[in-house]
Each structure stands twice: as C-alpha cells, then as structure tokens.
Structure 1
Amino acid sequence: MLRWLLLLCLLSAPALAKEIDAEVYVAIQAATDAEAAGDLGKAREALEQALPQAESGTLERALVAQRLAYLAIAAQRNAAAIDWLREALAQQQLDEAAALQDRQNLARLLMQAQRYPEAVTELESLPRTDSNRQLLVQAYRQLGQFRKAVPLAEQVVRANPQADDIWYRLLVGMNYELERFDQAVRWQQALLQRAPESVDNWRQLASMQSLAGEQVAAAATLRLAREAGIALATTDLENLVALHAQSGAPWQAARLMQALLDEGLLSSSADRLRRLAYLWQTARDHERALAAWERVARSGNSADRLQLAWLQYQQRQWQAALATLQAVQPANASQRRQLQSLKQAAEARLARPESGSDPSS
C-alpha cells in the first residue's frame, strides 16, 4: 500500500506543486523522501509539522491526513489510520478514484478492528464488488444479521456458480443459524457435488438433513457415502446422533438413530437400543419410548425392567407396570426398594381407578 502511494505522489508531484500551498508541498516531498529511505518516523514528523498550514476543508488537509493514514498502516497503528482516513475523506477534496480507494481501505481496517457496525456503514455505501460484498456479508454475520447477509451471498453464487467454496459454506452456516435447514441442505448439496470425496461434506449434509426433519434421507446419505467408498466410521455416525442430542434436539437424534439402525449402518446392540429408548423418552415421545424400552427389557437387566415399569406407571398403565415388575429380580438393596415402592404405588392406583391425579405424583 505504501509503495503504491509513494508512486502516486511522485507521479503527481508537478501537478500538486501548482495546486497546493508551497509549505505543505515541501512537507509532502520531505515525507516522500523519508518513506523512500525507510524512515517512517521522520516522514510522519514532516507531515505533522505541516498540519497547521493545512486548513480544514482544503486539498492540503486531505492530502496530509491521507499520507498520515498510510504511514499509520505501515506502522500497524490501525486505530490512528482509521482516524486519519476519516479526516482525509471528510475534506471532500480528493478525486473520485482516490476517495474510493480510501473508503475501501477504511472499511477493511474497521473489519480488522472488529468495529463491525462502523464497517457496515462504510461497506453499504461502496460499489458491490465481490470483495466488498464478501466483507459486508462477514460484517453482517458477525453482527448476527443473517437475514441481510444471506441475499448478498446468494447474489454472488447466482452470478458466478464457480465462486469460491467459502460462499457456499457461509450460506450453509447462516441458513443453519436462521434454522432454515432445508436451505442449508440445498447449499450443502452443492458443496458435496463440488467435492464428493470429502468426508466432512457427507457428514454435514446428513446432519442438515436430519435437522430439517429428514432423518431417513440423512441415513440414506450416509449409506450412499459408504457405498461410494467414503471412510465413515461407526463413531462418525454415533457422534452425529450425539450432536443432535447435545444441541437440544432429542427427537431428531432418536429418529436419526432409528434410521441408522433400520439401514443397518449401526448394529442393534443392547447399549444402542437402550440409548435409543432414552432418546425417545427425553423427546417425550411416550409411545415410541415405551416400545423401545419393551424391546430392551426383553433381554435386558433388572434396571431396564424397572425403567420400563416406571415409564408404564407414568403413562397410567398400572396393570402393565405390575406385570413388568413381576419379572424384575433385584440385584441390590436399592433396586429392591425401587421395586417395592413402585409396586405399592401401582397397586394403590388400581385400587382407586377413578383417580385423575397426575400419575407421576
């Protein structure tokens, strides 16, 4: 940036000499010489000494402030550079091309400083080049203004389907944040088509499909990945289920796990069936939870049968709960106490069937 500015000053020196105050011109020339010699401190000193002669609203003030801004950038003093660029632009004396370049650099500095609201103000007034559009999308994203960012990113990929992958990833991520999972699926499918050898693309597509309520499609995607030779480990599939469960979506996690079991991508081990039962129970899908616990209890241990009995009791299935308890063989004192307590409660409910109180009380 400094080399470009130095060249510009050298090329425009004769014209500047005719247009600006002589003392300011000498200071700019001295700063140019100091820059060329690598002495940025001396260059800044020359320009600061010229400030009193550069009145507000003049070309002199704009040029001195502009030069001080780029010296500050070279010295990695970005906060000062932002202030000087703003002062240079405020004079409204720079030609159109120079002012545009300064505004673009100001926007980039504001982004680097994480001053996103100010960056948005600058970027919204700039021409919508790909570079400026990408910065504006990033600024909106940082501010959580995804509804503004998504249309801009869509403009880029519609105008240029070969746009960099980052645009498609942004669209996936921002639609996810907006809980537009069907749209996230759409853009993730585009990423998968670009790089079908990527394990992450297959995983991400299955995850978005599951969040969109398409758990069967998610399982089918993972099956296709394996058929295509993608190295998906069992832990990858289990982690995907866990991701949904941990993000507060137990119903999606349960449906996905059921689909994976149905597809044969996960084997029906006792531990997995037990986990599936817990997921349905957490999701408050009582019918599926009961069916899952009944399956577990057939070959499960006493703890599993006690869990089934408790769930039957909660669903007012008193007789079924008592029948289940008959098959429980307590392994310890704690289980004996649980069995006795639950049995007494179920019998008491059967003795007064007219009761409409909460079964969990």
Structure 2
Amino acid sequence: MKRSLMCLLLSIWSFSASASPALQGDVIADLNALQSQLQEGALAQVIERATAQAERLASGNQSDQWASALYQQLAAGALARQDQPAAAADRLAIARGLNGVDDDQAARWLREEASLRRAADQRDQAIELLTEWLTSQQDIDTTWQLTRLLAQQERWEEAAEWLEQALSQTPEPSDAQQALTLAIYRNAGQSEQALSWLLDGLNAQSSAADWRQAAGLAQQAGQSGVAAGLWETAWQLGKLSEQEDFWLLIQLHLAGGTPARAAEHLEQALSEGDIVRDETNLRLLASAWRQAKDVEKALSAWQALALHTQAAADWRAYGQLAYAWGDEGQAKQAFARASALGDDEAEQWLAHFD
C-alpha cells in the first residue's frame, strides 16, 4: 500500500504539467522539497507542513486548490507510512473533492482511498468507493477486490452480481478466486450455479476434496442422482476409499434413484469380506434389491436375511414379497416357516393357498 502511494506521488508531476492548473514556482519547489523529505522518512515534518499549506490554499483559486490537493496527498503518503490508513484516506477524500482536480486524477485518488479504507478495516466505505470507481473504469483486479469485500461483509447477492462480471473477464481463475466463487454461490443460495461451475473443471486429476464438494453441492441443489453419480465416479477413480466413503456411496445411490448400484456394491463388499455379513448389512442389501424391483435378486436376498436371523417377521416379509411378485411357491414356503416360528399373521397368509 505504501509503495503504491509513493508510485502515485512520483507520477503526478508529469501529469500535472499537461492536464492541471499551473502551479507557482515557489509552490512547486516546496512540494518537491516535501516529497524529498517524505522519501527520507521525515514523516512528522511532512504532515505538519503539508497540512498547513493545504489549509492555507484550500479556499483560493483553481491553481491554489490544485496545490492544496497535492499537499493533502503528501500528508496522506506520510500518514500511510505511519500506519494510519484511515487518516490517510481522509486526506485523499479531501484532495479529490477540491476544485482544480480533474476527473482522471480524482479517480486515481478514489481508488487509493479505497485501498486505504480497506487497510483501515472500513470495508463498507471501501465498497462504496470501489463501486463508484468501477462505474467509469474497467479493471479486473479491482472487480475481484470489490467482490471479495462484499463477501467479507456477507453481502452475498451483491457479491454474486459482481462475481459474474469478474468471471467473465477471468479465463483461468486462481485457486483463491475459485474458492471465493464457490463460497459466494453457496451463500447466495445459488447451489446449482456453483455445481455447474465446479463441474466444468472437474476431471480425473481433481482432488478428493473437489469431488466431495461437487457431490455436496449437488445434494444442496436437490440433485441426488447427480450427487450419487459424482460419488460413484470418484469411487471408481480411487479418489474415495475410506469405509465412511463406501457407506455414503450406498446412501447416495439409495437416495438418488440407483438402488441396484447400491446393492451391487454391497454384494461385492460382502463377497470380498470388506464388510461384515451381519443382519444390518444383509437387511440393507435386501432392501436395496427390493427398491430396485429386481425380483430374483430381491427374493434371494430376503431369503438369505431370513435364514440368517431366523426371525418370523423376516420370513413373513419374504413371503409377502414373493406373493406380491407372483411366486407362490416361495411365498408358501416362507409363510410356513414364519408360522412354525409362531407368527399368527403368517397363518392367515397361508389360508390363501388352501
């Protein structure tokens, strides 16, 4: 920030000679002397002298007011070096409001003031200044600055509007800009746009975190099937391999309308010993095949569950499913087993076969 103020200061003289009111020789000499003192670090002296001169000339003609503005800028530079960004910003605000300062110079000071306001944690004022500056200027870095400031102030809808402009001018956003983009879309309630934007850059080289984030966004956007597809792809690519990743894969397939895929994963995991062949997992497998409406595999899975638990309720559920799908042979055997285990309701079902 201090360096940018100095660069601006050093660039003023050639500009002022051609586009600003002429300055008297003694004023130019005094400004040059103060500039040298500023570079040498005599900050207190510069502030005192520049302030006095600025106040003395502020009510004069255009040339005097132009000189007053330059003195205010010198004071701003010294204050910035003293780590007083708010006070420095106030001086630039005064400078750009004086008569004799043309529009281009006022715009430059406005942008510097915005940087100082941001450094002073005066974010709302910085936002107003940057917004004003961007109404007449095109600058991608400033657009990103404004977007970030709006996000920091949790003004998400405004941030999203400026984000669109920033992205349209940025072919390859940096990692920080990508993170900001996702944060803004999510907090602005634009999960679908966030997902679409993220999917454009998702590939086999993307990290596990990127795949997780994409799946999470799909869920937020109510696209359970997309979430399941993303998790499945990441699983197949080896991006996700933990036990909790497996169970979330199953849940996503069941919620996303692909229960058969969930059942296939469960069967493979059971056969390879990756998960325990217990009641919970067998019941989940049976339910998945039932949800998938695969008659043969569903009946086989329910039979395996009933054999494992030897519970009358499971034999009856197996029989009811077989009966509903027209397999009376399996249904009768299942109801008979349930009845033998003391299930009164199974007795009533068996009456259908008399």
Tell me what 2:336 maps to: 326
CA contact (8 A) 2:143 2:162 kept: no
CA distance in structure 1 between the partners assigned to 2:236 and 2:268 by the alignment:
20
Residue 37 of structure 1 and its aligned partner are, at CA, apart by 2.0
- The 1:172/1:17 distance shift into structure 2, 3 A limit, reads same
Point out where structure 2 has 5 or more consecutive residues left out of the alignment. 21-65
- Are 1:291 and 2:300 matched, yes or no? yes
Task: Tell me the SS of whatever aligns to 1:53.
Answer: coil
CA contact (8 A) 1:61 1:88 kept: no
- The 1:310/1:202 distance shift into structure 2, 3 A limit, reads same
Give the aligned residue type for 1:3. K
Give the aligned residue type for 1:264. G
Picking from 282, 285, 291, the partner of 2:291 is 282
CA contact (8 A) 1:273 1:296 kept: yes
CA distance in structure 1 between the partners assigned to 2:307 and 2:67 by the alignment:
98
1:82-97 matches, within 5 Å, as 82-92=127-137
- Are 1:73 and 2:118 matched, yes or no? yes
Tell me what 1:256 maps to: 265
Calculate the aligned-residue CA RMSD, in Å: 4.0
CA contact (8 A) 1:31 1:46 kept: yes
Give the aligned residue type for 1:305. W
Task: Tell me the SS of whatever aligns to 1:328.
Answer: helix
CA distance in structure 1 between the partners assigned to 2:150 and 2:165 by the alignment:
10
Task: Tell me the SS of whatever aligns to 1:297.
Answer: helix
Matched residues, percent identical? 21
CA distance in structure 1 between the partners assigned to 2:246 and 2:169 by the alignment:
47
Picking from 26, 32, 36, the partner of 2:71 is 26
Point out where structure 1 has 5 or more consecutive residues left out of the alignment. 193-200, 204-231, 351-361
CA distance in structure 1 between the partners assigned to 2:215 and 2:149 by the alignment:
28
1:1-361 matches, within 5 Å, as 2-18=1-17, 19-20=19-20, 21-53=66-98, 58-92=103-137, 99-112=139-152, 113=154, 114=156, 115-126=159-170, 128=172, 130=174, 134=178, 138=182, 142=186, 143=190, 144-145=192-193, 146-151=195-200, 153=201, 169-170=209-210, 173-174=213-214, 177=218, 179=226, 201-203=239-241, 237-238=246-247, 240-245=249-254, 249-299=258-308, 300-329=310-339, 335-336=343-344, 338-344=345-351, 346-347=352-353
Tell me what 1:356 maps to: none
With the length of structure 1 as denominator, give the TM-score of the two structures: 0.64
Give the aligned residue type for 1:119. L
- The 1:126/1:274 distance shift into structure 2, 3 A limit, reads closer
With the length of structure 2 as denominator, give the TM-score of the two structures: 0.65
- The 1:83/1:294 distance shift into structure 2, 3 A limit, reads same
CA distance in structure 2 between the partners assigned to 1:250 and 1:342 by the alignment:
29
Matched pairs, number = 291
Give the aligned residue type for 2:324. Q
CA contact (8 A) 1:119 1:139 kept: no
Moved more, 275-284 or 306-315: 275-284
CA contact (8 A) 2:69 2:101 kept: no
Residue 62 of structure 1 and its aligned partner are, at CA, apart by 0.1
CA distance in structure 1 between the partners assigned to 2:245 and 2:298 by the alignment:
25
CA distance in structure 1 between the partners assigned to 2:235 and 2:3 by the alignment:
41
Larger Rg: 1 or 2? 2
CA distance in structure 2 between the partners assigned to 1:342 and 1:129 by the alignment:
66
Residue 303 of structure 1 and its aligned partner are, at CA, apart by 1.7
CA distance in structure 1 between the partners assigned to 2:338 and 2:230 by the alignment:
49
Query: In the TM superposition, what whole-angstrom CA distance separates every residue of 1:42-75 from its partner, at most 9, and x where no partner exists?
Result: 2233233334326897113202311221122112
Moved more, 281-290 or 180-189: 180-189
